[in-house]
Amino acid sequence: MSGRGFLNFIQLAMLLMALVAVALISAVVTMHFAIHGAEVQVPALKGMTVAQARAQTAGLGLNLDVDNRYYSGEVAAGHILTQSPAAGTVVRREWLVRVAESLGPQQVDVPDTRGLSEHAAELILRRASLDVALPVHLPTGAAAEGTVIAQDPPAHAQDIAQPSVSLLVAAPSDEHSDGWVMPDLNGIQVSAAMSALSKAGIRVAPPAFAGISIPRVGQGAVAPSVTVAPGAVIAQSPAAGVRIEQSTLVKITVAR
């Protein structure tokens, strides 16, 4: 090969390498924008009306779900109290943003349902515009089966957080058993859970508190589907359905 031909070969090789480098850089830049172009920052929604929050999140390609409602003397009814993920968090488009809506100051009186049947208690509470949490059934010989033996919050309580009442309902006692079947406390407010166990004479350790984690970007585009209210039981030991003695020390973990 002549000197001139060799020089042309070198120039052609360098040109090809330059084109390959440009293509690689272009691919990297394109991938970068493809990934980060699908991410958005969660806006600050606290204080907005639900309609304003929906419009704000929809404009960013995010979904909004009102999963809790609380009484508040500081935030007007119909406005956002809290949100998750927090403002400024970077998430993927179509991520689900969960918010709690203010109901304004408490304006309902909590009825006394003790001694009523579970069905009658639920009717009275719903007529008072209160929700009924999943009842806890506890074997006891001190009350007729199916009657309410305790409630949380108590009758005529003021400054309650949510429009929701938890009921402790008498279940049939097992005369052939030397213990109790551990009820399922998950989702029950901690005060109601501890009251239920204490009334049965079961020892309860001081509750442990844990935050509810939210997956970071890159761990999947679907947000957790289980809604947990602050103050609700998220774990228990022994597990539900396990037969326990009165001397058993029950441990519960509560959502912070």
DSSP annotation of 79 reads: B
Distance CA 255, CA 23 (A): 51
Same-domain check for residues 24 and 139: no
Distance CA 222, CA 91 (A): 10
Q: Confirm whether 108 is domain-assigned.
A: no
Predicted local distance difference test score (pLDDT) of residue 81: 92
Same-domain check for residues 130 and 13: no
**98-127 b/e with 16+ CB inside 10 Å = b?**
bbbbbbeebeeebbebbebebeebbebbee
Joined together, the tokens standing for residue 76 give: 């007007």
How far separated are the first and last CA of the chain, in Å rounded?
Answer: 79
Predicted local distance difference test score (pLDDT) of residue 124: 96
Same-domain check for residues 160 and 234: yes
Per-residue pLDDT of the chain (256 residues; tens, 9 = 90+): 555 666 676 777 777 777 777 777 766 655 554 455 589 999 999 999 999 999 999 999 999 999 888 999 899 999 999 999 999 999 999 999 999 999 999 989 999 999 999 999 999 999 999 999 878 787 777 788 899 988 888 899 888 888 988 888 888 765 444 457 777 888 888 888 887 787 777 888 999 988 765 444 434 434 444 456 778 889 999 887 777 777 789 999 998 7
At residue 92's C-alpha, the angle toward residues 79 and 43, to 5°, is: 30
Predicted local distance difference test score (pLDDT) of residue 89: 92
Same-domain check for residues 123 and 98: no
Of 75, 102, 129, the last residue of a domain is 102
Q: Is the peptide bond before 238 cis (omega within 30 degrees of 0)?
A: yes
Residue 42: other Cβ atoms inside 10 A = 20
Same-domain check for residues 249 and 147: yes
Same-domain check for residues 68 and 95: yes
- Go through the chain and tell me how many residues it has: 256
Predicted local distance difference test score (pLDDT) of residue 41: 93
- Tokens 């304003």 found at: 52
Q: Confirm whether 112 is domain-assigned.
A: no
pTM of the entire predicted model: 0.54
DSSP annotation of 232 reads: B
Count up the domains in the chain and report the number: 3
Same-domain check for residues 131 and 233: yes
CB 70 within 8 A of CB 102: yes
Residue 58: other Cβ atoms inside 10 A = 11
Q: Confirm whether 222 is domain-assigned.
A: yes
Same-domain check for residues 178 and 230: yes
Same-domain check for residues 238 and 171: yes
- Tokens 């704000």 found at: 56
Q: Confirm whether 18 is domain-assigned.
A: yes
Q: Confirm whether 107 is domain-assigned.
A: no
Q: Confirm whether 232 is domain-assigned.
A: yes
Predicted local distance difference test score (pLDDT) of residue 28: 60
Predicted local distance difference test score (pLDDT) of residue 202: 82
Q: Confirm whether 94 is domain-assigned.
A: yes
Same-domain check for residues 140 and 93: no
Distances (CA, A) of 23 to 20, 30, 227: 5, 10, 46
The enclosing domain of 208 has a CATH number of: 3.30.10.20
Same-domain check for residues 131 and 154: yes
- Please name which of 207, 189, 48 lies closest in space to residue 131, comparing C-alpha atoms: 189
Domain encompassing residue 17: 1-37
Predicted local distance difference test score (pLDDT) of residue 219: 41
Joined together, the tokens standing for residue 234 give: 């998220």
Could you give the 3-state DSSP secondary structure of residue 49?
Answer: strand
Distance CA 132, CA 189 (A): 12
Same-domain check for residues 144 and 229: yes
